[in-house]
Copies of this chain bind each other. A is one copy, B any other.
Amino acid sequence: MTTTELSRPIDVSCAACETHGLSLCGLARALAPDQSSHIQIQQTSRTVLARRIICREHDLQDAVPIICGGWAASVVLLSDASRQILSFLLPGDLVSTALLFEPRSHCLVEAITDVVYRTFKRSELKATLLKHPEMFDMLSQAWIEEKDRADQLIVDLGRRTADERIARLILNLAERLSQRDMIRTTENSAIEMEFPLRQHHIADATGLTPVHVSKVLSEFRRGGLIKISDRSLTILDPAGFRRVANMR
């Protein structure tokens, strides 16, 4: 069985949500069932195992998913079996703001780690949105951020070198994790984070091959910029790493 389903009230298997409770983005927080929020919507919590699919392209879905725990990716499959990752989804992320308005997902959403997510009925969520102006603002906020990240990725893929793309990906993830209180900063200002991505994920996200990703990461390691071990990544030299990332 790849998914478990349970209706409210949310039970302990959703502990991951609590863990990141405070770190969820506005929308997710407003909808969290255990918050003091005055907004109440029917919702369902699910768990999927790593590598399993959360929603398929062209699926017609009545449900709008929000990630509560774990990492996922939105990916587009090409006819030659190559893949492009459009975005990584972290706890608190709405899978796609477009799903609020149209039932058809146009890309695959795949769990990278085990993932806990909640789903809402589109109709209810929309209704709530129109009734609560503050929710509407959160939505437009999420929308703007989603588009900004897509535009940023376009620039990266169109105009930056492999080194830059990879460094920027890592820094962007660090930034987003930091907003969720999911990084540690050590006394020598190194930044450490959980990093469940395989090199092929990085390759699929940056438009490179896994082989080249390996070479670039080795280079970064040799340069003392980062350290990777045991599904955890440390940026040893944030300033230097940012320098690599930013400009030609």
Contact = CB atoms under 8 A, between A and B. Distances in A.
Contact of A147 (B98, B158, B207): B98
Interface stretch (A6-14, A100-108, A222-230): A100-108
B98 A143 contact: yes
A86 B154 contact: yes
Interface residues on A, range: 35 or more
Interface stretch (A21-29, A38-46, A76-84): A76-84
A181 B164 CA distance: 42
Interface in A38-90: 76, 78-80, 82-84, 86
B146 A147 contact: yes
Interface string A115-152: 00000000000000010000001001101101110110
A151 B207 contact: no
A239 interface: no
A151 B78 contact: no
B157 A98 contact: no
Contacts of A144: 98, 101-102
A17 interface: no
Contacts of A234: none
A159 interface: yes
A1 interface: no
Nearest to A151: B86
Interface string A143-181: 110111011011101110000000000000000000000
A211 interface: no
A248 interface: yes
Nearest to A140: B101
A158 B97 CA distance: 23
B101 A151 contact: no
A84 to B, nearest CB: 4
A199 to B, nearest CB: 16
B84 A148 contact: no
Contacts of A79: 246-248
Interface of A: 76, 78-80, 82-84, 86, 96-98, 100-102, 106-107, 130, 137, 140-141, 143-144, 146-148, 150-151, 153-155, 157-159, 206-207, 246-248
